[in-house]
Amino acid sequence: MTCHAFCMTFRFDSSRISHLACVFLLACTWGAQAGEADFSAEEIARIASHGPWPMPSMRDPGNRVSGNPAAIRLGYRLFHDPGLAANRKISCATCHQPERGFQDGLATARGLQHGIRNTPGLWNVGQQRWFGWDGGHDNLWSASLRPILDPAEMGGDAKRTASLLRGQSELDCLYRHAFGKAPDAGDDALLANVAKAIAAWQETLVSPATRFDALREALLRGDGAAVANHAPALRRGLRLFLGRGQCATCHAGPLFSNGEFGDIGVPFFVKPEGVDPGRQGGIKRVLANPYNLLGRHNDDATRNNATATRHLRPEHRNFGEFKVPSLRNLKYTAPYMHNGSLATLRDVVHHYSQIDEDRLHSDGERILKPLHLTESEIDDLVSFLEALSPETPMVIPGPPARIDSCRGFARRSQGKADAHAASVTSHVSRNDR
Amino acid sequence: MKSRRSRYGVLRRWIPLFLLGTVSTIALAACPPNEADGSLLTSGKLQLAWRPLLQGDTPVATTAIPMARHFALAVQLCEGRMASQASLKRIDATMPEHRHGMNYQPRISPLGDGRFRVEGLMFHMSGRWQIEFEVQNGNDVSRLLHDVQIR
């Protein structure tokens, strides 16, 4: 219950003198101050399901070098090395720029050719079930191999990869350490191994806790004072997100994604006259991929990690569905959506507010209705979304520790690594123009 | 002499384990089903008990299925005190309000004695899900429905 004291002033005239009188009124409302009142037990239970953060880290059972220090260092070096690409100018970091939340700020990616999809950020990438906007990969290492081989992105191959590793003694040493053999272009496992090393490094990218996480903890502790310290707009936005907005139906759990796919009416036409089939194509791609979890490169002998792939079920509605993205760290990863078509979080909230039901599939979601939000409700929802990013820019992860027995090599190849870093930077600025 | 005694020792160790094994199979195939078999649905004489199993076969209540995680089901079909001869033909689940079903195709394996194991289910959104069990007994097909609320 919240109470307010009002002073109501009355002016009344008696003969020639005006009098001002103040009458104090006590007005009380039962939790009626929309959005700012305490959260209900039901709401708190739902808020609790969006944590804890960070989630407990788990090794990838399908990747035998997950957590292996030599592989993590190798992965870091390769991620920043343009030598994997056919033109020796593009590295993973060209598009996944560490200082931009590991994306490029462009609507759609530019590699050897122009792409049709937005580059996703890579913070917390290891926590997903499906990779790519269409979920065309069922594991992080095969998603990391795709750009190396894709003629539109890096256009690399096994031969180039093996000679890159052999040509830099630290890389060669790290590879031998992680995989127990020399990098060999004729080895059927070479590309999978390289991708597993890059994946092992990406698994270490876990973003810090946010204002939302602090609010959640305060609510679970029952610390009313700490809860009240959070901006009212954030709290109102959170309530809207869980309630009328129904956002958490899809943006669920600690990552704010259920890891599945949906159609929210973002156009999927691609210039000049194509369409992006989204999940429909993704299911086909994942099943055709020799590096999927049903294949021999999966290091989990039990194949328990392949349940999702084994039980895939194509449906008509998959056409035009895209992955439900995580909502963490969005402050650093504009523009938004699979095609980068929305520039700001405000644009995204406008999209949901005015959603065009005719654009949704006839057999699509019935939960998306235009929300017709007021300007202040839009502000609230944006405040909430912003509270899912750390307030200070995230620390760019530096190189992982060196491996003792590859140490001598590291010093010798360090000069080369710096040269690569410089070329990455110059490519970034070219993209900016 | 020495070797014979040690062989007996091994046997002694295994007998109780073996007994435990039979007891627990009997318990699993017990009809009529009890709470340990999960939630109960009936259609005429047919009783169907189902229990969700999370990773590592950890059983959970039918009211506590987590959202967006794969789970399996243990299903027991009974007719009174007898295991039913009917078979679980199909299992599916939909969200009636959203007008869509699951993104995954469950698979059924018969285990004998009216028991079945279903793999590969996932409720990927919060809200009401309706599970449908299709059971065939000779020419008779019955559909048993159960609603669960996923948070």
Å from A253 to nearest chain B CA? Answer: 9
Question: If you measure CA to CA, which chain A residue comes closest to B118?
Answer: A311
CB-closest option in A258, A307, A366 to B120: A307
Does residue B4 have a pLDDT over 50? no
CATH number at residue B16: 2.60.40.3340
- What does each C-alpha distance from A40 to A247, B19, B105, B121 come to in angstroms? 18, 52, 37, 31
Distance from CA of A311 to the nearest CA of B (A): 5
What is the SS3 assignment for A46?
A: helix
| Partner B contacted by A249 (CB < 8 A) | yes
Nearest CB to B120 within list A258, A311, A366: A311
Per-residue pLDDT of chain A (433 residues; tens, 9 = 90+): 344 444 443 344 443 344 444 444 444 333 334 345 589 999 999 999 999 999 988 899 999 999 999 999 999 999 999 999 999 999 999 999 999 999 999 999 999 889 999 999 999 999 999 999 999 999 999 999 999 999 999 999 999 999 999 999 999 999 999 999 999 999 999 999 999 999 999 999 999 999 999 999 999 999 999 999 999 999 999 999 999 999 999 999 999 999 999 999 998 888 777 899 999 999 999 999 999 999 999 999 999 999 999 999 999 999 999 999 999 999 999 999 999 999 999 999 999 999 887 777 655 557 788 999 999 999 999 999 999 999 988 888 899 999 998 986 765 555 444 444 433 333 333 333 2
Are B120 and A310 a contacting pair at CB < 8 A? Answer: yes
Choosing among B125, B128, B129, B151, which should be mutated to test the A contact, i.e. which has the most A CBs within 10 A? B125
Residues of chain A neighbouring B105 (CB-CB closer than 8 A): 311-313
Closest-CA distance, A249 to chain B, in angstroms, reads: 5
Task: Please give the structure tokens belonging to residue A335.
Answer: 């523009």
Chain A residues near residue B68 by CB distance under 8 angstroms: 252-253, 258-260
**Taking all residues of chain B, what is their mean pLDDT, rounded to a whole number?**
85
The answer to whether A232 touches A238, Cβ cutoff 8 Å, is no
CB contact under 8 A, A311 and B98: no
Secondary structure (3-state) at A301: coil
Q: Within an 8 Å CB–CB cutoff, is residue A367 touching chain B?
A: yes
* CB-based contact B55 A304, cutoff 8 Å: yes
Q: What pLDDT score does A269 carry?
A: 83
The ipTM, to two decimals, is: 0.82
Say if residues B92 and B100 touch (Cβ distance below 8 Å).
Answer: no
The residue segments making up the domain with residue B76 are 4-150
User: What is the chain A residue with the closest CA to B151?
Assistant: A46
**Ramachandran angles phi, psi of B68, nearest 5°:** 60, 30
Number of domains in chain B: 1
CA-closest candidate to residue A287, choices A138, A77, A113, A85: A138
Which pLDDT score, from 0 to 100, does residue B8 have? Answer: 47
Q: What is residue A356's predicted lDDT score, i.e. its pLDDT?
A: 81
> Is A307 in contact with B124 (Cβ distance < 8 A)?
no
Instruction: List C-alpha distances in Å: A62 to A189, A196, A206, A302, A389.
Output: 14, 9, 19, 10, 30
Whole-number pLDDT of residue A368: 87
Q: Is A176's Cβ below 8 Å from some Cβ in B?
A: no
DSSP designation for A23: E
Residue B114 near residue B76 (C-beta atoms within 8 A): yes
Q: What is the pLDDT of residues B67-118, one digit of tens each?
A: 999 999 999 999 999 999 999 999 999 999 888 999 999 999 999 999 999 9
Is A166 at the interface with chain B, CB within 8 A?
A: no
Does the distance separating the beta carbons of A261 and B105 come in below 8 Å? no
In this prediction the pTM is 0.86
Question: Which of A252, A253, A313 is the closest to B103 by Cβ?
Answer: A313
